[in-house]
Amino acid sequence: MKSSLMIDVSPNYSITFPFEEKHDPKAVQQWFAENWHLSLYFSVVYLILVFSGKEYMKKREAFKLRKLLVLWNVFLAVFSIFGAFRTLPEMFHVLSNYGFDHSACNPSYAEQVKVSAFWTWLFTLSKIPELGDTLFVILRKQSLQLLHWYHHVTVFLFCWYSYPEHFSTARWSVCMNYTVHAVMYSYYAIRAIGYRPPRWTAMLITMAQTTQMIVGLGVNGYAFHRKINGHYCNCEMRTLFWALLMYASYFVLFARYFYFAYFSKERTKKD
């Protein structure tokens, strides 16, 4: 009987681009193994700029930046839409043919399927430009919430830290994040243009983000259960610990935001 690592797990992509075919998962994995620590330096610089920038803007007029904000959100929306369309087929194929255990514990998405491997690599790199979201918050003098900067910096650190091991549950994280961001940044782009979608649209997006954290907890909890019972799962225990802690903290912060944004008496009065 063939090992699940050796069978053909590639979905039938109708179109495969040359840059996807040329992707070398092992070379990229080696690069991150040697350079993941760069994310620590980026994070320190990011946090310094965030809080010094917030202080700098206190006595200054807010920048409008509408056109630039539209372009920024359209770019991230299009990128996320492409990422979702290129990674979800692999997820559906694995779930349909090999089951949930493979989807949570087998890193074939990053090692055997070049399309999903390429877009997982881009996903990991994209956590650097996504830090730019905070620049718009600061320059436009919007409320800088803990959820915003904490989420950005910890996702960035975790993605770069876990990439070298081809963390198996990342298959779920990447697909969910691309999908939620495709909707979220499209919504932001529409808002930046000047159109205000119905309030329930924003509520649904926040619900999707919160659900993403619940699913993340479930998938990583399953992987943890498999590991402690001696079964194969391509996740280091220390990385699973950080993943569970990260998702738990996100769930608390998103659930808290959801309540105060849509159901608290103070917000209801403002609306």
Active site residues: 151
Closest CA relative to residue 110, chosen from 69, 21, 171, 157: 171
- Residue 206 in tokens: 């926040």
How many angstroms separate the CA atoms of 225 and 100, rounded? 14
Beta strands in the chain (DSSP E): none
How many angstroms separate the CA atoms of 96 and 101, rounded? 11
Asked if residues 42 and 157 have their Cβ atoms less than 8 Å apart, the reply is: no
CA angle 168/171/177 to nearest 5° reads 135
CA angle 240/32/127 to nearest 5° reads 75
- Torsion 243-5-101-224 (CA) sign: negative
